[in-house]
Structure 1
Amino acid sequence: MSAENTAGMLDTIVIGWGKGGKTLAGTLARSGERVAMVEQSAQMYGGTCINIGCVPTKILIHEAEQAHGSDFDPQRFEAAVQRRDKLTSMMRAKNFSMLDDLESVLVLTGHATFSGPRTIKVSTETEELELSARRIIINTGSVPAQPKIEGVEIRGRVHDSTTLQHAEMPKSLIVVGGGYVGIEFASMFAQFGAKVTVLDRGERALSKEDQDIASEVQSSLVDAGVSIISSAQVTKISQDQSSATVSFELDGQAQQLEADAVLIALGRTPNTSHLGLEAAGVKVGERGEIVVDKFLATSAEGIYALGDVNGGPQFTYVSLDDHRVLANHLLGDGSRSTEDRVAVPYTIFTTPPLSRVGLSEAAAIEQGLGIKIAVKKVAEIAAMPRPKIVGDPRGVIKFVVDAHTDQILGAALMHVDSQEVINLVALAMRQKMTASSLRDQIFTHPSSTEALNEVLGQLS
């Protein structure tokens, strides 16, 4: 569809090419609607996941794992980045064509700001357009958080999770932040041969995980050569042409560390600051997130928000489920809502990966639930040869089970293939399968899944 004479013709405008937005744009277009997709960068067609997030980082992690902790070799990293770029370029082109090839979709590359209720201005390289539609969907995702620390600006030797993917391979790296992104990057760069130090402001890294699980992850990081300093309050970052220096306080004492590069990994915040939401009457929360109801509607009539930008869990698959909720609301019977979600799993791609779903033991105890715990080290699970076959028997499997109903309340799996096995556990939880029933299922051999027979057998 051409940008000419679009005034009054559009049914839906989607701002941002994230997973939920792009999928919904295609769904609505195929249903007969006239849709405009606005993406501010040609390098982001397809969204964060395929360009700078899930896919490219997992390529790099995979390539790092193939080295098995070999010495520093920047050529290996450069080769991994080239493979990363080749695949993301192919996926970006495919995502672009999936919408651009639809006759009822107008694709615009430019910055969008609201100029009024259900009206936006789009500034492209050559012109400024004003578009209106009866419905606008905001899907602009999130951006790395910028803490109030002197010298934290992303430039030179100070990076965020995006810029570090194309930086010169550092011999030494300081990671500021012991959360999921920081831990993943620490594991990856250590396996590429860098000397990595994590500065975590909490009492321990991965503070949302149970202590025994977090300790197992930390052990794998130590195996890779990562140093973790907890309770470190970073106060300043400085740099020159040859290195960067991080100043921090530890136990009341001022300390400094020097490295080739610094990664700022202190979370991500909803990307809303430049949208002009006030012009449309769209309310935001304390973190800048767009406030939505259970059907993803904002405070402004006809405007919806999908994905990271609405403050929900920052996962691509949650954004995709946002699409299902809104598509059902707009085209179906309206029966779906975000309240339907239970047992949403996640994975941290350390080596081996940590995957979790539901309640941790600590969270279950805090809620006053009567629970049973089944936990076993992977190396001690006789009926789990798969990790031993591939040469990495590290890790642990832990289940939290309701002591009265035998329902699975949560699970933490840290082992080879955990990113796959966790989906089975999550499905079992959604289908209300008891721990005993999951224990007695028939699984292929040799696999990582069959460990569930033995681990859950401890509850018999």
Structure 2
Amino acid sequence: MKQYDAIIIGFGKAGKTLAAELSNRGWQVAIVERSNMMYGGSCPNVACIPTKTLVHEAEVSALLYHDDFPKQANMYKQAIGRKNRLTSFLRNDNYERLSKRPNVTIYTGTGSFISADTIKVELPEGEIELKGKEIFINTGSTPIIPAIDGIQQSQHVYTSSALLDLSVLPHHLIIIGGGYIGLEFASMYAGFGSKVTILEGGNKFMPREDRDIANSVKEVMEKKGIEIHLNARAQSIHDTNDGVTLTYSDVSDGTPYYVDGDAILIATGRKPMIEGLNLQAAGVGVDAHGAIIVNDQLRTTVPHIWAMGDVKGGSQFTYLSLDDFRIIRDQLFGDKKRDIGDRDPVQYAVFIDPPLAHIGISEEEALKRGYSFKVSRLPASSIVRTRTLRQTDGMLKAIINNHNGKIMGCTLFCADASEIINIVAMAIKTGQTSTFLRDFIFTHPSMSEGLNQLFDV
């Protein structure tokens, strides 16, 4: 049995960053990763980086070859190749950065608990046992596959990561699930020239967003030719000579409908990846959703076992996984003051075209809580930079406290929203009032100067 100061299960953002930190401090570290295609975690291999690469390529494709499917299909194939080269580079880089450290050992195999301090790793050449003083679980999340007749038998059903490896552009992509992942793929494939149909089981489009924002997004997506069906429950899938047929029903009255396509994307959410970890052998508790239970310092129900990233439930963002690392670093080596309660509110971005970004509370939430506030709205087209970019779609919205002028929430649906939201986030986190952004000097012409107008209330 080999002994380590730390064992990290999963090669994700938090895990790899923590491994480097512990290595720098002289710890003997073992990293256990089940797949040699996942060094670095989901983000550089099957999520953030490849999808955002293709989002950009799709925007270029739409500008160059709009309504010319053969040319767009060729550009899509080339884009998949570029994406694959990028992910391969990042994967190898992540591996080499840690493998060259003398006090870090990477085991490519499946890890599971034997006891609270011992991990069994199944390697191609056999099993090995590792003992660790501190153990960190960073196994991420996995797609939720709904129970639909024929889904397992179909050759045309894909998860998001599998679809990213499809080198032939679908003529018609059917997406089951209208959440943020589904919307990103819908926008991306519509940009490449695919016909896209979204089937959402709920009766609200983008239920987390205010209705004016959701309606604006829906209008833009439909203008791009994306069909959106609400109250749509998928019933069965069967392959045909030409592709695949999906049968769905209207939740409200049970009326059946049919849609034919080339590919079906399952985008019905993700769940913590705990399968095979044998957590019960270590005494690590999980909640009703299968997420590992942690306290505010990210310790599990076993004090020397920690959980980081998606596996502990909650919002699934790479940058939160990185912040999990910061919390653990502070708990191990700092003043132990940092915890998950320190980071709210957290901004997020949805990489549709144009992108959507949000921080804080919505207007609907502010009303429910009885706050005294004012709302500022700004059409994206009012920002001169959108004219130079030829991206005038969208709107900006802010919720401002009437008593102290503090920014309570902000939603940006416009070009560069994923960047601009970080400016608003810094203003909120540093306690600035709306006048700070109203009077701030921004470069011109830029999208960020739209904040001058948005907060001029």
Alignment TM class, shorter chain as reference: over 0.9
Distance in 1, matches of 2:209 and 2:324, equals: 26
Aligned partner of 1:388 in structure 2 is: 387
Deviation at 1:154, TM superposition (A): 8.0
**Equivalent-residue separation in structure 2 for 1:95 and 1:38 (angstroms):** 14
Q: Is the 8 Å Cα contact of residues 39 and 94 (structure 2) preserved in structure 1?
A: yes
Q: Quick one: distance in 2 between partners of 1:230 and 1:429?
A: 35
Q: Deviations over 1:57-88 (max 9, x none)?
A: 01111111002243323211110000001111
1:59 to 2:59 alignment: no
Amino acid at match of 2:402: A
CA contact (8 A) 2:199 2:228 kept: yes
Distance (Å, rounded) in 2 between the aligned partners of 1:56 and 1:418: 19
Structural mapping, 1:155-174, within 5 Å: 156-167=155-166, 168-174=168-174
Matches within 5 A, 1:241-390: 241-250=241-250, 251-252=252-253, 253-379=255-381, 381=382, 384-390=383-389
Q: Is the 8 A contact 1:71 1:192 kept in 2?
A: no
1:286-341 CA distance string (max 9 Å, x none): 11100000000000131000000000210000000000000100111111101101
User: Is the 2:154–2:238 Cα contact (8 Å) retained in structure 1?
Assistant: no
Query: Is 1:52–1:162's contact at 8 Å kept on the other side of the alignment?
Result: yes
Matched, 1:400 2:402: no
TM-superposed CA distance for 1:395, in Å, is 0.8
Partner of 2:237, secondary structure, is strand
Counterpart check, 1:38 vs 2:32: yes
Contact 2:378 2:453 in 1 (8 A): no
* Separation in 1, partners of 2:190, 2:153: 22
SS in 1 for 2:2: coil
Query: Number of residue pairs matched?
Result: 449
CA contact (8 A) 1:70 1:191 kept: no
What secondary structure is seen at the aligned counterpart in 1 of 2:86? helix
Which residue number corresponds to residue 13 of structure 1? Answer: 7
**Cα deviation digits, residues 238-274 of structure 1 (max 9, x gap):** 2245311111111421111111111110111000122
**SS of 2:291 mapped into structure 1:** coil
Give the TM-score normalised by the residue count of structure 2. Answer: 0.96
- Residue 90 of structure 1 aligns with an amino acid whose one-letter code is F
Taking the aligned partners of 2:331 and 2:67, their CA distance within structure 1 comes to 52
Q: Secondary structure at the match of 1:162?
A: helix
CA distance in 1, matches of 2:299, 2:227: 45
8 Å CA contact 1:154, 1:160 repeated in 2: no
Write the deviation string for residues 3-27 of structure 1: whole angstroms up to 9, x where unpaired: xxx623x000000011011101110
1:72 matched to 2:47: no
What amino acid does structure 2 have at the position aligned with 1:305?
A
Residue in 2 that maps onto 1:453: 452
Asked if structure 2 preserves the Cα contact closer than 8 Å seen for 1:70 and 1:192, the reply is no
For 1:39, the aligned partner's letter is: E
**Aligned equivalent of 1:3:** none
Q: Residue 93 of structure 1 corresponds to which residue in structure 2?
A: 92
For residue 166 of structure 1, give the secondary structure of its aligned residue in structure 2: coil
Following TM superposition, by how much is the alpha carbon of 1:124 offset from its aligned partner in structure 2, in angstroms? Answer: 1.1
- Calculate the aligned-residue CA RMSD, in Å: 1.2
Distance 1:375 1:404, change over 3 A: same
Paired residues of 1:283 and 1:291 also in contact (CA < 8 A): yes
Contact 2:154–2:237 (8 Å) recurs in 1: no
Whole-angstrom CA distance in 2 between matches of 1:201 and 1:88? 33
- 384-393 vs 135-144, which moves further: 384-393
Shift of 1:153: 3.0
Q: Which residue type is aligned with residue 132 of structure 2? A: A
Give the gaps of 5 or more residues in structure 1. 1-5
Deviation at 1:416, TM superposition (A): 0.8
Letter in 1 for 2:221: L
User: Are the equivalent residues in 2 in contact too, given 1:273–1:288 (CA < 8 A)?
Assistant: no
Contact residue 11 and residue 33 of structure 1 kept, 8 A: yes
Q: Please say if 1:29 is aligned against 2:23.
A: yes
Cα deviation, residue 155, structure 1: 5.2
1:136 partner SS: strand
Secondary structure at the residue paired with 1:178? coil
| Partners of 1:334 and 1:178 in 2: CA distance | 40
Letter in 1 for 2:2: A
The equivalences for 1:132-281 within 5 A come to 132-153=131-152, 156-167=155-166, 168-250=168-250, 251-252=252-253, 253-281=255-283
CA distance in 2, matches of 1:225, 1:272: 39
Q: Which moved more, 1:79-88 or 1:145-154?
A: 145-154
Q: Quote how far apart the aligned CAs of 1:344 are.
A: 0.9
Where do 5+ consecutive residues of structure 2 fail to align? Answer: none
AA aligned opposite 1:423: N
Q: Aligned runs of 1:415-426 on 2, under 5 Å?
A: 415-426=414-425
Q: TM-score normalized by structure 1?
A: 0.96
DSSP 3-state at the match of 1:344:
coil
1:355 offset after TM fit, Å? 0.6
Q: Distance in 2 between matches of 1:325 and 1:420?
A: 24
Aligned amino acid, residue 299 of structure 1: T
Partners of 2:199 and 2:158 in 1: CA distance: 15
Q: Secondary structure at the match of 1:43?
A: coil
